[in-house]
Homo-oligomer: A and B are copies of this chain.
Amino acid sequence: MCQTVAYLIQGDKEVLVLQDVVSITPEGQTVRLVNLFGEEKVIEGRIRQIDLLSHRITIHAGRPS
C-alpha cells in the first residue's frame, strides 16, 4: 500500500497530523487530507513536499505569504 504520513511544520517543530493518508487536496488556504479509514483532516497551510519514497507529506503551517 502507498499510504503516507502527513506532518505539519510549525516553526522548527514537526507535528504528526494524520497517518495512512491516501488523498491530498489543496483547497485555497487549506489542505484536505483523507486516510485509508475515511478519516479526514483539513489543515490550514500549504504543501511543502510529498515524498513517496519516504512516505512523507510535509505541510507548512499558516496561510501562504
Contacts and interface: CB of A to CB of B under 8 A. Distances in A.
The size class of the interface chain A forms with chain B is: 10 to 19
Nearest to A26: B47
A33 B53 CA distance: 13
Nearest to A20: B52
A28 to B, nearest CB: 10
Tell me the dominant secondary structure on chain A's binding face: strand
Interface of A: 2-4, 21-26, 46-53, 55
22 contacts: A2-B2, A2-B4, A2-B52, A2-B55, A3-B52, A4-B52, A21-B52, A22-B51, A23-B50, A23-B51, A23-B52, A23-B53, A24-B47, A24-B50, A24-B52, A25-B49, A26-B26, A26-B46, A26-B47, A26-B48, A47-B47, A50-B50
